[in-house]
Amino acid sequence: MFQRKQLTRYSIHGLAIFFIALFSVACGGGTSSGNGGSTGNHPIVLQVVDAGGYSDQVKPMLDAYQKAHPDKVSKVVYPPRIQAPQLPGKLKAEEDANNIQDTLIISGYDGVASSTDQGLVEQLTPAHSDKFPNLDDNYLPSAKAYTDLAKGYALVFATTPSGPVFEYDPAKVPNPPTTIEELRTWIKAHPHQFLYARPSNSGPGRTFLMGLPYLLGDKDPKDPTNGWDKTWAFLKDAGSTIESYPTRTGDTMSALASGQVSMIASTMGWDINPRFLHQVPAGDKTFVLKDTTFVADAAFMMMPKGLDKARQDIVLDVMEWMLKPEQQAFNYDSGYFYPGPAVKNVPVSLAPANSQQVIKDFGRPEYDTIIANAKIELPLDTNNLVAAFTKWDKDIGSGKYKAS
């Protein structure tokens, strides 16, 4: 289960159309235009297209389903992972050929955007709400909020409060900041020792960006154009101490591990998983600033259009299975999406023994207390997020990063 993960966050090329897609996509679905792979009463091959890097989390859930229901699923296959911008082309090619091979889609919300925009996925609710009784009541608040944004075309199966969290080398930072003003002072007093990645290329980078307006008490944390005066001033001030911005989160981890810097912007998952993988020293520590508002992240599941009814019914059954507490416990995985479960009442004690050991060895006991008491917000909407990225690239990062 604990395969080495590629330390990059989800592609956000498709993010710019996310909210537009969700509100403009035509309601419908449920039509099975093709018979590709139709199996009648025989078990199906469940082919999972991963456009977000979640295979490690879902594999034990789906293996358990196949073992419990061999009459429905003969085997589960995972083609090579793709990036979210590639997802629509893959789905459309199969639909146009009347040969639907993919049966379950797992993706971040960038993949939700690109797929729903072109009408390539089935509406799950309310069309099939009978398969998901008490869904709203069972979801954690952040998972419900994210699912509501998807307008029924995708369901959240994993979620994390994410950050902003700050990771540091305790040998170099014996007294870490506790407030945003103390962080400002520390950064200025220690030039070239604080680092974060370009926000449009990095989950921790954009989480840091979106979390600052709350920490600084900006006029409108949801409006980077007119409401972030304090945030842009803070970033410009901090930028005077940063020579260049990486375009991969993993590069900030490497800089911390090598001693090139002493402190980086991180998230809960990016703290736990790289230390488990020995890519960052196990003894590195984290802190969360006073009055932090967390900016959540989520993973979704979708069903492609064009499946015959037999496969539709099984995929819906699989989705229902993935939301059961005992399956949700697999979301703890190796801490990459900590804590992970999207539904209520899934303590780490329900997770597999090896996941429990990872969390015991590399987790932070204080995280659960922080999560229980923290205020958690969703990310900026698409237009404002693009505006924030554009302004950061122009006013903060210009000349200091290599576009990818």
pLDDT value, residue 112: 84
Residue 273 domain-assigned (yes or no): yes
pLDDT value, residue 1: 40
Gap between the terminal Cα atoms of the chain: 31
Q: Rounded CA gap, 320 and 331, in Å? A: 15
Q: Rounded CA gap, 349 and 80, in Å? A: 32
Residue 368 domain-assigned (yes or no): no
Say if residue 321 is in the same domain as residue 390. Answer: no
Pairing of strands 194-195, 263-266: parallel
Say if residue 144 is in the same domain as residue 177. Answer: no
Residue 3 domain-assigned (yes or no): no
pLDDT value, residue 14: 44
Longest Cα separation, the chain: 69
Say if residue 261 is in the same domain as residue 308. Answer: no
Residue 2 domain-assigned (yes or no): no
What's the pLDDT tens digit per position in 365-395?
A: 999 999 989 999 998 876 788 899 899 999 9
Q: What are residue 188's phi and psi, to 5 degrees?
A: -65, -35
Is residue 100 within 8 Å of 94, Cβ to Cβ? Answer: yes
Q: Rounded CA gap, 333 and 5, in Å? A: 11
pLDDT value, residue 125: 96
pLDDT value, residue 285: 98
Question: b/e for 77-107, b at 16 or more Cβ within 10 A?
Answer: eeeeebbbbbbbebbbebbeeeebbbbbbbb
Say if residue 249 is in the same domain as residue 300. Answer: no
Say if residue 150 is in the same domain as residue 191. Answer: no
Say if residue 307 is in the same domain as residue 231. Answer: no
Residue 180 domain-assigned (yes or no): yes
Please confirm whether the linkage preceding 141 is cis (ω < 30° from 0).
no
Q: Domain of 26?
A: 13-161+296-363
Say if residue 389 is in the same domain as residue 270. Answer: yes
Q: What are residue 262's phi and psi, to 5 degrees?
A: -110, -15
What's the pLDDT tens digit per position in 231-242?
A: 999 999 999 999
Is residue 124 within 8 Å of 320, Cβ to Cβ? Answer: no
- Tokens coding 78: 């995972």
pLDDT value, residue 379: 85
- pTM (2 decimals)? 0.79
DSSP string for residues in 219-231: S-TT-TTTS-HHH
pLDDT value, residue 25: 37
Q: Rounded CA gap, 78 and 39, in Å? A: 19
Say if residue 259 is in the same domain as residue 326. Answer: no
Residue 5 domain-assigned (yes or no): no
pLDDT value, residue 117: 76
- CATH number, domain of 345, equals 3.40.190.10
- Tokens coding 271: 């703290």
- Tokens coding 38: 């139709």
Say if residue 101 is in the same domain as residue 235. Answer: no
Say if residue 389 is in the same domain as residue 278. Answer: yes
Q: Which residues of the chain register pLDDT less than 70?
A: 1-40, 382, 403-404
Q: Rounded CA gap, 159 and 339, in Å? A: 7
Among the listed residues 286, 329, 335, the one whose alpha carbon sits nearest the alpha carbon of residue 7 = 335
Into how many domains does the chain fold? Answer: 2
Q: What are residue 105's phi and psi, to 5 degrees?
A: -110, 130
Residue 6 domain-assigned (yes or no): no
Say if residue 120 is in the same domain as residue 83. Answer: yes
DSSP string for residues in 238-304: HHTT-S---SSHHHHHHHHHHTS-SEEEE-HHHHHHHHHTTSS-TT-EEE--TT-EEEEEEEEEE-B
Is residue 155 within 8 Å of 323, Cβ to Cβ? Answer: yes
Residue 370 domain-assigned (yes or no): no
What's the pLDDT tens digit per position in 273-283?
A: 999 999 999 99
pLDDT value, residue 265: 99
Say if residue 84 is in the same domain as residue 103. Answer: yes
pLDDT value, residue 40: 56
Query: Average model confidence (pLDDT) for the chain?
Result: 89
Is residue 37 within 8 Å of 65, Cβ to Cβ? Answer: no
